Amino acid sequence: MFLKVFRFRYGEVSDKVNALILFMLLTFALPAQSQAAGPVRILALGDSLSAGYGLMQADAFPNQLQRALNDDGIDAVVINAGVSGDTSAGGLSRLEWALSEGVDAVIIELGANDGLRGLDPGETFKNLDAILSKLKRRELAILLTGMRAPPNLGEDYGREFSDIYPRLAKQHEVPFYPFFLEGVATIAELNQEDTIHPNARGVRVVTKSILPYVKEMLQGIKSK
């Protein structure tokens, strides 16, 4: 009889101890793991449109995007890897260096200068394809943004150039924002005096429009 009572009471204590251990793990271990993860690090790899040419850095695209994500409750840091005047070839050549600090996701905003200079769309395709391939091998989340060539280069060139981006997005199966300057290009009050680079208001329009696509990209990080 004594043994039966002892076993019953010992079993009760054991169950309580196990429950206490589980509670402590949920209360302390999980938040610590979450804190260790830190913010999502997003690289904005681009040209002057990302670099913030003619703007205060607070108004540049990476800074405005980071604030928009933070305002929506997403803990993210957006790293400005924009270089004014850069082509797709330039972006490819400095990719490894840009990734050296470690990132979780990359927004590719390249090609505007290729189009302005009338470079061979086939070469632009190869450069962007190589960038995407390198990023895919690293298993990074990616958002590809599209660009259009200036109309003065002719319809054939414009069509071939614009087709680069949807082809690559389909080939690499990555989220795709069709035109980085959607709702801003050719609108005088949203651009600087050069009519090419967005002003602070223009960047706000870009940021608001692209934000859902950035969130879609970030889903790729959670699913890993």
Note down pLDDT in tens along the chain; length 224 residues.
Answer: 544 444 444 454 455 545 444 444 444 444 433 344 799 999 999 999 999 999 999 999 999 999 999 999 999 999 999 999 999 999 999 999 999 989 999 999 999 999 999 999 999 999 999 999 999 999 999 999 999 999 999 999 999 999 999 999 999 999 999 999 999 999 999 999 999 999 999 999 999 999 999 999 999 885 54
Of 71, 156, 194, 223, catalytic: 194
My answer on whether 28 and 43 are in the same domain is: no
Of 47, 86, 114, 197, catalytic: 197
My answer on whether 112 and 25 are in the same domain is: no
pLDDT value, residue 222: 56
The set of residues, in sequence order, having a beta carbon less than 8 Å from that of 193 and lying 6+ positions away, is none
My answer on whether 48 and 30 are in the same domain is: no
- Known catalytic residue: 172? no
My answer on whether 33 and 44 are in the same domain is: no
My answer on whether 17 and 53 are in the same domain is: no
Kindly report the backbone phi and psi dihedral angles of residue 173, in degrees, each rounded to the nearest multiple of 5, phi listed first. Answer: 55, 55
Domain that holds residue 184: 39-222
Q: How far apart are CA 64 and CA 79, in angstroms?
A: 11
My answer on whether 122 and 17 are in the same domain is: no
CATH of the domain at 105: 3.40.50.1110
- Cβ pair 48, 85 in contact under 8 A: yes
My answer on whether 54 and 20 are in the same domain is: no
My answer on whether 138 and 162 are in the same domain is: yes
- Known catalytic residue: 197? yes
My answer on whether 188 and 126 are in the same domain is: yes
My answer on whether 16 and 90 are in the same domain is: no
pLDDT value, residue 13: 45
The set of residues, in sequence order, having a beta carbon less than 8 Å from that of 16 and lying 6+ positions away, is none
Of 47, 48, 50, 88, catalytic: 48
Count of structural domains within the chain: 2
Taking alpha carbons only, the member of 121, 215, 220 closest to residue 172 is: 220
- Known catalytic residue: 194? yes
Q: How far apart are CA 184 and CA 220, in angstroms?
A: 28
My answer on whether 17 and 121 are in the same domain is: no
My answer on whether 24 and 116 are in the same domain is: no
Q: How far apart are CA 60 and CA 42, in angstroms?
A: 15
What does pTM read for this prediction?
0.83
pLDDT value, residue 126: 98
Give residue-wise pLDDT tens across range 109-156.
999 999 999 999 999 999 999 999 999 999 999 999 999 999 999 999
Give residue-wise pLDDT tens across range 69-84.
999 999 999 999 999 9
